Structure 1
Amino acid sequence: MITVQDRLGRMVRQAQAQGRIPAVSAALHRADRPLWTCTVGGTGTDRSLDADTVFRIGSVTKTFTSVLVMQCRDDGLLDLDDPIGRHLDLPAHGELTVRRLLSHTAGLQREPHGDVWDTLRVPDVEELLTDLARVERVLPTGRRYHYSNLGMALLGELVARLRGGTWAEVLAERVLVPLGLTSTGATPGERAATGYLVDAYSDEARPEPPTDFGAVGPAAQLWSTAPDMARWAAFLADPAALDPAGTVLTPATVDEMRWPLTTTDETLWAAGWGLGLILVPQPGRVVHVGHDGAMPGFLAAVYGRRGGDGTAGAMGCAVLGSSGTGTEVLDLPHLLLAAAAEHDPAEIEPWRPGPPAPAQLRGMLGRWWGEGFEVVFSWHDGTLRARGAADPAGKPPAVFAPLPDRPDVFRTVSGREAGELLRLTRDERGAVVRLHWATYRFTRHQETFDGYDFRTGS
């Protein structure tokens, strides 16, 4: 009998062989199972390859910097719509907002001034900021997605200035230590694998030179292990499970980061971008959230899974490889997450009876009509909810919270019409006879607008 661990391990070995990757390390984190790891290949050093081997994770670093920025926002140190020049003294481009830089919609050029990828000479912070006068706004702000390492480097310096330390110091104190990411840091250490360029026409693997990315570090500097990164991916997907006290970020803030602000391709909507996070839609109302990374000699892909049948809590996957050309690494986390959910799905929690709806709401539960469409209001898990009668089973309901100072008025806290008010209108006997949700009228039976008295509102 083939176990799910056998199946996942075979997928890793196949990717390593097909991609001709000297070393691959993969890990799968989920709340209901022990950590799963798999390594294939060798480190290129005297140390054997294992789950503790450290790889460069490249642009996965950006997810950490983005979390640090959101911490500053939550602590009142900045607003996402602040121009960055309000907090950093910049010779140019100070009007670009924090939100635009996080979502790669600021229009700023991709790299710092100079031929960084030709010389591998990276500026220090002072040079990076001074040279802003020499870099381009390659697109109008807000026009479209345009990836920028420079923009993320500026956000890293913003965090460092606001917190009064270096970017690496702030990251360790405020994210790595609280989440127990003990193998993640800005330097490789003695457990690092060697990164390679694998020759396209032979089996030669040439070592890539080590690089320190200086002031661009907040965009690409970090090193880590697959278990640490699987845990990080699980945090991005399900922060309440790994950080129940909200020490790093509240679930609401991580949810804000996951909301898509732009797409990476105008015709093929295969991936979107939130606040520093890549969002990859999957079949069955599932989304994978995380980031890819590429540096000389290394590729990394780190994603958490949200939604869909079989998805466990705190489900995250990381695949790290020691080849800059082994692109199989980039697809593998998505395949492993899907296979784990399909072949080892989370247990189905049994339904249990709960307390009744509050007396003042029982009479309003059931079917209502608005604009010719039927909506069902219900009470589940202690909250008032609404779903379209024709909604597919996996679509989340709208969830309402009462306003304590306004009886019969609720705020939509998630789902359809999030943020809008729901108002209940009662007759002289106290029965709910009409609803207004986002100002649209709902009645117990289908009605045309002809029957509505616009003078009296009834």
Structure 2
Amino acid sequence: MSFPPEELLPATRRALLHRLAVGQAEGRTPSLVGAVIRGGHPVWSDGRSMIDDHRPDGNVQYRIGSLTKTFVAVMVMRLREEGLLELTDPLERHLPGTPVGRLTIAQLLSHTSGLASETPGPWWERTPGALRPGLADVLGEQPMRHPAGSRYHYSNPGYALLGALVERLRKEPWGDALRREVLEPLGLTRTTLSPRAPHAGGFAVHPWADVMLPEPLEDTGVMAPAGQLWSTAADLSRWAAFLAGGDERVLGPAGVAELRRPVAPPEGPEWTSSYGLGLDLRRQDGRALFGHTGSMPGFLAALWVSEEDDLAAVVLANATSGTPTSVIAADLIRIVAEHEPRLPEPWRPLPEADPELVALTGPWYWGPSAHLLRLRADRALELAPMGALGRGSRFRAEADGTWTGLDGYYAGETLRVVRSADGTASHLDIGSFVLTRSPYDPGAPIPGGVNPSGWQPS
């Protein structure tokens, strides 16, 4: 049974509010709202604004910009789970008639398609979608900027194509499918394509004077899957919990985990960011984060999850620029992690254990390299090097008596226990690598054989 986490300590709550207040003041932001999620449950939310005695709460809508892409990515993954497409499929197979049909769905999801970052003019975020009625209008005559698959290049039109893909396969507007398949099951009742009161107005703040300008609010039409949605801190807290752990009604844990695996190649020797399938991946303050940021005229948004800390944070602002919502959200996670570090789960013995599997545990050797095999819950195995070097992986038990690697070098590879005639374990076979109970065991089928003179002092 899962229990909500304990309420944050007063000192922690004060530190969180202080970070939010500094962000609103230094960012010169009309309003700012933030939330923290721990263990899948909201544990803190607060807001600051330019109006005395007013704090926007978790029910106020803000435009979330490119956070919309995370919702579109989940819709595409649902189609994959149902067998309606494969991520390696060319777009043309499911959405014929575009000039970029050879691009794969995975390339569009991960921004490795080589498509242009933006549409041909005018600036799509501040003009009516009616100016770009079809997909050809958002791609232009020369939509490619790089060879497909060669590098990461963020593309808003790429997500317009994915939204159109969802519409074609679902035979209904993508927003309708999103509401029915994702928003309603997760209880995201305040996440909508158009604003619903109470909602914030979007403003640009003059860079050199404390004055504001209202930003236009436009329906972006076919570009909507790139950044149209409005949401609240409360709804996005639920969305963060979903992205962290999944929900079988929408997309299970394995599906959401696939979203955050790096696909786009990082750039530079000291890389701090990459991209998965619709999720942004960051390293900040020594912490691995996944989520997304968003911006539209008058609005900024950020959602980050730290899997290791079991924490997530959301920050929403109604300013075009100036407020580092991404940094503030990461700081909210850091503050809680430092003030109230995650308590480890209590150690508990396995509810049951097969004696044959228990007998497999302990040291195994790949040649002279020592590894330790441990038994985990659900007959899972975990192999780890005993020294500084070596290859390790977690393995999932399969119905046929083998195990499949889940991560590391052996991800996707098969582990088999090979037994002698008397039933004892002779060796482990992992993708043709032989692991034995002693280094280069002469009684095991070591590829290339073992020198009959054995180990020598010199």
The TM-score normalised by the length of structure 2 is 0.88
More deviation, 183-192/28-37? 28-37
- The runs of 5 or more residues in structure 2 that have no matched partner are 1-8, 452-458
Cα gap change, 1:34/1:130 in structure 2, threshold over 3 Å: closer, same or farther?
closer
- Tell me the secondary structure at the aligned position of residue 82 of structure 1: coil
The answer for the alignment partner of 1:276 in structure 2 is 278
Q: Distance in 2 between matches of 1:371 and 1:7?
A: 53
The answer for the alignment partner of 1:432 in structure 2 is 425
- Tell me the secondary structure at the aligned position of residue 377 of structure 1: strand
The answer for the alignment partner of 1:304 in structure 2 is 305
Cα gap change, 1:343/1:391 in structure 2, threshold over 3 Å: closer, same or farther?
farther
Give the alignment partner of residue 324 of structure 1, picking from 320, 324, 347: 320
Mapping of residues 353-392 of structure 1, within 5 Å: 353-355=349-351, 357-382=353-378, 383-390=380-387
Q: Distance in 2 between matches of 1:119 and 1:37?
A: 31
Q: Distance in 2 between matches of 1:37 and 1:188?
A: 21
- The runs of 5 or more residues in structure 1 that have no matched partner are none
Cα gap change, 1:361/1:343 in structure 2, threshold over 3 Å: closer, same or farther?
same
The answer for the alignment partner of 1:220 in structure 2 is 227
Give the alignment partner of residue 260 of structure 2, picking from 258, 267, 289: 258
Letter in 2 for 1:293: G
- Tell me the secondary structure at the aligned position of residue 60 of structure 2: coil
> In the alignment, does 2:184 pair up with 1:182?
no
- Tell me the secondary structure at the aligned position of residue 325 of structure 1: coil
Give the alignment partner of residue 340 of structure 2, picking from 339, 344, 349: 344
Cα deviation 1:82-138 (Å, max 9, x = unaligned): 111122232411111111100101111122233225962435774233664623211
- Tell me the secondary structure at the aligned position of residue 101 of structure 2: coil
> In the alignment, does 2:75 pair up with 1:68?
yes
The answer for the alignment partner of 2:96 in structure 1 is 89
More deviation, 332-341/169-178? 332-341
**Residue 268 (structure 1) shift:** 3.4
Cα deviation 1:267-311 (Å, max 9, x = unaligned): 431111001110113566x5211110011111100122212xxx2
Cα deviation 1:386-410 (Å, max 9, x = unaligned): 1122369xx9951231442xx5x33
**Residue 15 (structure 1) shift:** 1.1
The answer for the alignment partner of 1:447 in structure 2 is 440
Q: Distance in 2 between matches of 1:118 and 1:69?
A: 23
Cα gap change, 1:337/1:222 in structure 2, threshold over 3 Å: closer, same or farther?
same
Q: Distance in 1 between matches of 2:278 and 2:426?
A: 46
Cα deviation 1:314-349 (Å, max 9, x = unaligned): x32110011111232121111111221221233332
Give the alignment partner of residue 6 of structure 1, picking from 14, 20, 35: 14
Cα deviation 1:390-443 (Å, max 9, x = unaligned): 369xx9951231442xx5x33224454121111223333322132221211112
Cα gap change, 1:362/1:89 in structure 2, threshold over 3 Å: closer, same or farther?
closer
Identity of paired residues, percent?
36
Q: Distance in 2 between matches of 1:125 and 1:72?
A: 27
Give the alignment partner of residue 247 of structure 1, picking from 235, 249, 259: 249
Cα gap change, 1:34/1:66 in structure 2, threshold over 3 Å: closer, same or farther?
closer
The TM-score normalised by the length of structure 1 is 0.88
- Tell me the secondary structure at the aligned position of residue 3 of structure 1: helix
Cα deviation 1:222-254 (Å, max 9, x = unaligned): 111112112212211122xxx2xx111011111
CA contact (8 A) 1:299 1:326 kept: no
More deviation, 436-445/101-110? 436-445
Letter in 2 for 1:353: P
Letter in 2 for 1:443: T
The answer for the alignment partner of 1:417 in structure 2 is 410
- Tell me the secondary structure at the aligned position of residue 134 of structure 1: coil
CA contact (8 A) 1:90 1:132 kept: no
The answer for the alignment partner of 1:205 in structure 2 is 212
